[in-house]
Amino acid sequence: MAKTLVHNFGKNVSFSPTVFAEPKNEHGVIELLRQHRGLPVRVMGSRHAWSDAIKTDGLLISTRHLTQIQLNPNRQSVRVGSGCKIKHLLKFLKRHGLTLPSVGLIDEQTIAGATATGTHGSGKHSLSHYIRRVRVAHYEEPSGAPVFSELDNGAELKAAKCSLGLLGVIVEIEIEVRSAYQIEEHTEKHNSLTQILEMEKQYPLQQFFLMPWSWDFYCQHRRETSTATSRTALFYRVYWLLGIDWLLHVVIVLLTRFLGMPRFVRIFYQRILPKTIIQNWLVTDDSHTILTMDHDRFRHIEIELFVLRSDLEAALNHAREMIISFADCSNPEQPPASLNKQNRPPYCHHYPICVRRIRTDDTLISMTSPAELDSEEDWYSISFISYQSPHQRSGFFEFANSLAISMEKKFNARCHWGKFNPLSPSANQKLFPQLREFREIVKRHDPEARFANPWLKKSILDS
């Protein structure tokens, strides 16, 4: 039988598992584990991760049929099949006047896939933090028989909230929900980071963008409100859909994939884009609509780094220097000599750098788990996206590698587990104080590391 070829969203990960299966229910998962006991096992959700997280040459299980949803009678949490997409869960919750406590920029991920890598939005904890119980299929020790375990307290729950699939196949998650809410948003240009951070108290859900080449900040100031949906909300949605999600992205794709001229990218960010951003349009709409966007219409790749608030300003300055240094040599801005290496592929960064605040999670290894035990300092994620097509990405990978390694050294920056992640095991060991505890729990559940793959062994399990 021909092997199935699997690609991720970014088409930077492609592989053919020996067995690809889509069990119809959780008993089907147990049956698969029984039948293929000797094979390594990985699970895939929507395949949106850019890291090697889903890769395996053994058994690959898709959770697309595990999509049941059941609201608990107290309406404080919901039990949801691991393969349920966030958009379907949000739709279900909306019918009950409820929603999730946190949502990322898109809603295409599955609930287990999103939480397995610590997916987050802005102003709240990551989604993983809100998990109350995880039901997981794995091999029982010492019999080796496949069984279900319920993880609902202590360090095991903290590990299961963001596990990268290392504890086995998650079949169901119980996660907190909250009443549906409205968000008020307006966008404003700022010249300094200090100004933006000062406004955080007023707008705790805000996120902001550092524009490459103009180096201006644009902040989407956001806060919860009891106001009804604005009359102009529909026009605002159309502006976002046509103006940002479509037109802006078409221009960026054309500039980067076809024109390939860094000079045009700089002119676009310095002279054209600023004229098209509508500032101070105050709009209220439901949280799901305001928080999500459709920038996944075009294939892209991303690296996202996490620094503590105290390092944010220096980290953004460093990123700016790196971007200048990596751009084409026709760049009028002089790269700092220390960063300017010869013979590397040029990379002209061409996408707004999104910065989001995330509160410390009660997990062991999500990117926003405590920096030190008991530390509650907020984390800020800084994301770098490239819309170059898959065969043009050598410059991006060089840039992303250098950025991750230098930011790890200078600012103890962590890398998103579900995005391009080149950090070494020794770096991760230093960055995640609870990694040792996580490894011990994984070892108890899966002593032979059957649910791991080479990337996970290299970056997480090997000490």
Ligand X SMILES: Cc1cc2nc3c(=O)[nH]c(=O)nc-3n(C[C@H](O)[C@H](O)[C@H](O)COP(=O)(O)OP(=O)(O)OC[C@H]3O[C@@H](n4cnc5c(N)ncnc54)[C@H](O)[C@@H]3O)c2cc1C
Residue ranges in contact with ligand X by CB under 6 A: 9, 42-49, 53-54, 63, 82, 104-106, 109-110, 112-114, 116-117, 119-120, 164-165, 169-170, 296, 418-419
Q: How far is the CB of 53 from ligand X (least distance, A)?
A: 3
Among residues 171 and 407, whose Cβ is nearest to ligand X? Answer: 171
DSSP symbol at 451: T
Distance CA 66, CA 45 (A): 10
Q: How far is the CB of 419 from ligand X (least distance, A)?
A: 6
Among residues 44 and 175, whose Cβ is nearest to ligand X? Answer: 44
Distance CA 156, CA 370 (A): 16
Distance CA 362, CA 125 (A): 9
Among residues 173 and 315, whose Cβ is nearest to ligand X? Answer: 173
Token output for 202: 């007023």
Among residues 292 and 325, whose Cβ is nearest to ligand X? Answer: 292
Among residues 102 and 402, whose Cβ is nearest to ligand X? Answer: 102
Distance CA 423, CA 427 (A): 6
Write the single-letter amino acid at 314: A
Q: How far is the CB of 195 from ligand X (least distance, A)?
A: 24
Look at the block and give the residue holding tokens 């989604």.
127
Distance CA 417, CA 101 (A): 21
Distance CA 30, CA 137 (A): 7
Report the greatest alpha carbon distance in the chain.
Answer: 67
Among residues 57 and 321, whose Cβ is nearest to ligand X? Answer: 57
Q: Please enumerate in sequence order all residues whose Cβ is within 8 A of that of 252, keeping only pairs 6 or more positions apart, or say none.
A: 350, 351, 387
- Residue 227 three-state SS: coil
Write the single-letter amino acid at 189: K
Among residues 305 and 327, whose Cβ is nearest to ligand X? Answer: 305
Among residues 265 and 456, whose Cβ is nearest to ligand X? Answer: 456
Contact yes or no for 456/164 (Cβ under 8 A): yes
Q: How far is the CB of 305 from ligand X (least distance, A)?
A: 12
DSSP symbol at 359: P
- Nearest CA to 419 among 305, 291, 316, 257? 305
Among residues 60 and 197, whose Cβ is nearest to ligand X? Answer: 60
Distance CA 20, CA 60 (A): 5
Q: How far is the CB of 49 from ligand X (least distance, A)?
A: 3
Token output for 149: 């375990």
**What H or E segment, with its residue span, contains residue 136?**
strand 131-139
The C-alpha R_g of the chain, in whole angstroms, comes to 22
In DSSP terms, 231 is beta-bridged to: none
Q: How far is the CB of 207 from ligand X (least distance, A)?
A: 10
Q: How far is the CB of 227 from ligand X (least distance, A)?
A: 25
Among residues 17 and 418, whose Cβ is nearest to ligand X? Answer: 418
| Bond before 23 cis per omega within 30 degrees | no
Q: How far is the CB of 133 from ligand X (least distance, A)?
A: 14
| Residue with the CB atom nearest ligand X in the bound state | 113
Q: How far is the CB of 46 from ligand X (least distance, A)?
A: 3
Contact yes or no for 83/63 (Cβ under 8 A): yes
**What H or E segment, with its residue span, contains residue 288?**
helix 287-291
Among residues 63 and 360, whose Cβ is nearest to ligand X? Answer: 63
Distance CA 361, CA 344 (A): 38
Q: How far is the CB of 63 from ligand X (least distance, A)?
A: 5
Q: How far is the CB of 23 from ligand X (least distance, A)?
A: 11
- Residue 150 three-state SS: strand
